[in-house]
Amino acid sequence: MFGTYNVGPEAARLTYYGLWALQHRGQENSGIVSTDGGMFYRHSAPGLVSSVYREEDLEQLPGVSAIGHNRYSTSGAADDAHAQPILQRSSGFAFAHNGNLPNTGKLVTFLNARAVTTNKLNDSEMMAEAISQYILEGATLEKAIMQAFPLFTGVFSAVAINTDQLIAFRDQCGIRPLSIGKLGDGYVIASETCAFDTVGARFLRDVRPGELVVIDQRGITSHQVVKANPKLDIFELVYFARPDSVIAGMNVNQVRQNFGKELARQYPISADIVVPVPDSAIPAAIGYAQASGIPFEMGLIKNRYIHRTFIRPSQSLREQDVKMKLNPIPHLLKDKRIILIDDSIVRGTTTHKIAELMYGAGARAVHLLISSPPVKYPDFYGINLPTSSDLIAANLSVSEIRKRIGVDSLGYLSYDGMIRATGRPASRFSTSCFNGIYPIQIGKQVTLHKTIKRVRQRVLA
Q: What is the pLDDT of residues 447-459, one digit of tens each?
A: 454 545 544 454 4
* Average of per-residue pLDDT values in the chain: 92
Q: Which pLDDT does position 72 carry in this prediction?
A: 84
Q: What is the pLDDT of residues 104-147, one digit of tens each?
A: 999 999 999 999 999 999 999 999 999 999 999 999 999 999 99
Q: Which pLDDT does position 4 carry in this prediction?
A: 98
Task: State the pTM of this model.
Answer: 0.91
Q: What is the pLDDT of residues 65-94, one digit of tens each?
A: 999 999 987 544 445 678 999 999 999 999
**Three-class DSSP labels, the chain:** CEEEECCCCEHHHHHHHHHHHCHHHCCCEEEEEEECCCCEEEEEEECCHHHHCCHHHHHCCCECEEEEEEECCCCCCCCHHHCCCEEECCCCEEEEEEEEEEECHHHHHHHHHCCCCCCCCCHHHHHHHHHHHHHHCCCCHHHHHHHHHHHCEEEEEEEEECCCCEEEEECCCCCCCCEEEEECCEEEEECCCHHHHHHCCEEEEECCCCEEEEEECCEEEEEECCCCCCCEECHHHHHHCCCCCEECCEEHHHHHHHHHHHHHHHCCCCCCEEEECCCCCHHHHHHHHHHHCCCECCCEEECCCCCCCCCCCCHHHHHHHHHHHEEECHHHHCCCEEEEEECCCCCCHHHHHHHHHHHHCCCCEEEEEECCCCCCCCCCCCCCCCCHHHCHHHCCCHHHHHHHHCCCEEEECCHHHHHHHHCCCHHHEECHHHHCCCCCCCCCHHHHHHHHHHHHHHHHC
Q: Which pLDDT does position 247 carry in this prediction?
A: 98
Q: What is the pLDDT of residues 9-26, one digit of tens each?
A: 999 999 999 999 999 999
